[in-house]
A = this chain, B = another copy of it.
Amino acid sequence: MKTGVAYYPEHWDEWRWETDLQLMSKAGIGLVRLAEFAWSKLEPEEGRFEFEWLDRILALSHRFGIDVLLGTPTATPPAWLHAKHPDLYTVDEWGHTLGFGTRFQRCLNHPVMREHSRRITEAMARHFAGNPAVIGWQTDNEFTQNTCYCDGCAKAFQEWLKRKFGSLDALNSRWGTAFWSQTYTAWHQIPLPKQAKCGNAHNPSLLLEFRRFQSQATVEFQREQVRILRKHCPNNFITHNFMGLHNSMDYYDLAEDLDFVSWDNYPITQWDQDTSKASLAHDVMRGIKGRNFWVMEEQCGHGGWTVVGPRPKPGQVRAWAWQAVASGANTIVFFRWRSCLHGTEQFWHGVVGHDGIPRRRYREVAQFAGELAAMAEKLDESVVRNEVAILDDYEQHYAFQIQPQAEGLGVWEQVRRFHVSLRAMGVGVDVVPLDINLDRYRVVILPGWPIMTEEAAIRLRAYVANGGTLIVNPRTGLKNADNVCHEDVLPVFLGELLGVSVDDYDALADSCVPVISQNGEVFNASVWTDALLVDGAEILARYQDRCFSGEPAVTKNRHGRGVAYYFGTCGETPFYKSFLTEILAEAKVPMKQDLPEGVGMYWREGKNQRFLFLINEQSAPVDVPIDAGMTPLFGEVDGKTATLPAHGVALLAENG
C-alpha cells in the first residue's frame, strides 16, 4: 500500500528533479507514475528513441526509494506521426476531422496507428525491462470507446458485421431492416450511424452493434500493448486508469487483460460536485475484477482547464483518499505532483502549485501518506466483502443511452437510488456482473435490464430457486441481444419467477405518482410506472393516481427457496429504505440503523480481523455510535462514540 503521485519530469528543467523527489520523499510519497503523455519526448522523430532522460529520472527515483509506474504514451501520438498520416485523426458523426492540438485524436482502428502503438510499446518494454525502479505499467490513458466515424471504421464495422452475422439475410432479418426500407443487399451499404435526416434516429440494432464494435476496438488496441508488455516485462504488473462511472465502453472486457483495475477519482470538478458518486464508483471499480484496486489519479486540489474548479474543503482530500482505501483501494496516486506551467491543464492543480512551494495541499497529502504508511501492514491483505450486490452490464448502459425511454432510467441513475439508500443504512454493496457466482450474496438487485437473454434469465431463476433474494426493476426483459423488442409479455423470461406481468406502462417525465404500501405508507413514485397483472405474487404497494390508480406497483413472489421482488416504478430514498429494510431483514443482512446522515461506513476484512472506516462526508462535525468490541486505530473515539470533525476519519479494528 503506497501513496504516489503522477509526475511529468519532461515538463521541468532537469535541475529541479531532485528537489521534487526530495519533497515527495519527505511527504511519504513512495511511487511516481511517469511518461504516459511523453511520446514526442521518447521518440522525437520516427524510429529515433530517446530514453536516456527517462533512465535518469528512474535512477533518481530508485535512489529515493520511490517506485515507478510507466505509461505507454499512445493517448498523445506526436505531431510528426499525424503529419505523415493525416487519416489517423478521428472523424466525428458529422464528418468533421478532429485534428491536432489536444489528445485522443487517433482512430484506434487504423492499422498505422496500431502499428505505431505496438512499435513504441515494444521499444519501451525492451528498454525498461528489468529496470529495478519499474514495478508496473499503465496502458495509454483513460480509454473510452473509439468514437470515430472515419471510412476505415466503416469498412472495419462492415467486416465485423460480416463475421458476426455471416450473411446479409441474417443481419436484415435480425435487425428488422424491413422497417423504413433499410434492407441491405451489399455489406458496403451498411452505414456508420453518422448524422442523417430525422436527427440521428438510426436503427437501434445498428446503434448497439456499433457500440460493441467500437468498444471492442479499444479493447483490441490495448490487448496488443498488453501482449508486448507481458512478453518483455513478465515481472511487472499491468493496469489501466479507468474512469469510474464512465460508461461509453465495456470495462469488463477492457479489464480482462489487466492485472488489476485502477481509476481516476475526482469527486468535485467544475462539472459535478456530487461527492456521493465517488463511493459508488469505488464499488463499481472494485467489482470489475472482483478485487482490490488502485486509485491512479486522486484529486488533490481544484481541477480545471479553462475554468478553475471548486477547491476541496480542508480535510476533504484526505477524507476522499481514506474513503478510497476503505472501499478497497490499495494504493493512492495523487494527480499531479505539481501544477503545470504550460498547456491545457494549467489549472488542474497539483500537490504543489505553479510556484513549487509546499503549502496546504502538500501538507494534507503528507498527512494522509503518513497515516496510510502507519496502517499499511495491518490493512495490506484485507479485502472488501459484502452481502448485497447490484448487477451491472455495459450492454444495458448502451441500451439506455441509445433509447433513454424516460429521464432517470439510465443504469447509474437506477443503481444510485439503491446504492445511496443502502449506504445510508450502513450496508456495503458490491457492483458485479451477472456471470459470476451470485450465491455468495444474500440479496441481488437487478436494475432495469432491457436486454435480457434466456441464459441470463436462467442464472437469475437459479439464484432465487437456490435461496437468494432478487429485486427486479422496470424495463427488464424488453429486448433481445440485437436490441430488438421481444415478442412476449413483459418482463420477458422472468414472469413466472416474479409472478407478475406488465399490462401497461407510462413514462412520467417530470411528474410524480403516489404509491401506497400495504401498511399505508405513501411514497412518491417517479420516472416510470408499470401497471402489473399479478399471477401469484403478493402486492406490496399500489398506485394511488394517474392512469393506473389502484393497480399493483410493487410485488413479492416466493420461488423455490428464495424470493423475487418486482419494483414496477422508481422512488426516492424513503421508498427504497422502507422496502429494503424489510427485504434485508428477511434476508438476514445486517444494517446499521443508527448511522448518522452523511457518514460513510466501510469495512475491510483482513485474514484475522475486520476494519471499520468511518468517514464524515460533511462540513459539520458528527458523533457516530460505535458497537461494542471495536478498538480505535486512529481518530477521536471515546468508548461508544466516534467524534468525527468536518471531513474527519476514524479507523477501528474489530476485536479478533
Contact = CB atoms under 8 A, between A and B. Distances in A.
B506 A547 contact: no
Interface stretch (A197-205, A428-436, A567-575): A197-205
Copies of this chain, complex-wide, total: 3
A511 to B, nearest CB: 9
A78 to B, nearest CB: 5
Interface in A487-506: 487-490, 503-506
A132 interface: no
Contacts of A406: 307-308
Interface in A155-214: 175-186, 188-191, 193-206
Given A346-B204, A507-B307, A509-B310, A341 B104 contact: no
Given A39-B181, A99-B194, A196-B102, A176 B487 contact: no
Contacts of A302: 506-507
A484 B98 contact: no
Contact of A487 (B102, B195, B200, B341): B341
A178 B99 contact: no
A360 B196 contact: no
B404 A307 contact: yes
B180 A343 contact: yes
B186 A83 contact: yes
A343 B40 contact: no
A77 B403 CA distance: 25
A313 interface: yes
A543 to B, nearest CB: 13
Interface stretch (A351-359, A367-375, A387-395, A516-524): A351-359
B308 A507 contact: yes
B343 A102 contact: no
Given A105-B196, A191-B100, A195-B96, A178 B11 contact: yes
B186 A80 contact: yes
Interface in A208-236: none
Contact of A402 (B97, B306, B486): B306
B10 A178 contact: yes
A209 B153 CA distance: 35
Nearest to A90: B197
A426 interface: no
A98 B185 contact: no
Given A79-B189, A307-B507, A310-B506, 8 more contacts: A102-B180, A102-B197, A104-B197, A307-B404, A308-B507, A311-B507, A342-B484, A359-B504
A103 interface: yes
Nearest to A490: B355
Contacts of A201: 102, 305-306, 344
A289 to B, nearest CB: 28
Contact of A185 (B80, B195, B313, B509): B80
A181 B78 contact: yes
Interface in A395-435: 402-407
Contacts of A95: 96-97
A558 interface: no
Nearest to A204: B346
A339 interface: yes
A478 to B, nearest CB: 8
A178 to B, nearest CB: 4
A381 interface: no
A37 interface: yes
B347 A403 contact: yes
| Top 3 A-B pairs, shortest CB-CB distance | A176-B342, A179-B343, A76-B181
8 contacts: A40-B181, A79-B182, A79-B183, A178-B342, A205-B342, A308-B507, A309-B507, A314-B547
A409 to B, nearest CB: 9
A202 B80 contact: no
A101 interface: yes
A34 to B, nearest CB: 13
B342 A181 contact: no
A39 B178 CA distance: 9
B202 A344 contact: yes
A80 B175 CA distance: 17
A458 interface: no
B44 A101 contact: no
Most B CB contacts (10 A, CB to CB) among A11, A180, A487, A505 go to A180
A259 interface: no
B179 A345 contact: yes
Most chain B CB neighbours (cut-off 10 Å) among A181, A404, A405: A181
B179 A11 contact: yes
A308 B502 CA distance: 16
Interface string A1-22: 0000000101100000000000
A73 interface: yes
A203 B103 CA distance: 11
Contacts of A97: 95
A37 B181 CA distance: 6
A340 interface: yes
Contacts of A177: 40, 342-343
Contacts of A376: none
Given A308-B405, A487-B355, A181 B101 contact: no
A58 interface: no
Contact of A344 (B100, B180, B343): B180
Interface string A49-91: 0000000000000000000000001001111101100000010
A73 B178 CA distance: 12
Given A83-B188, A339-B485, A183 B44 contact: yes
A4 B193 CA distance: 34
Nearest to A45: B185
A179 B490 CA distance: 53
A191 B190 CA distance: 33
A46 B488 CA distance: 37
B96 A487 contact: no
A114 interface: no
A314 B551 CA distance: 14
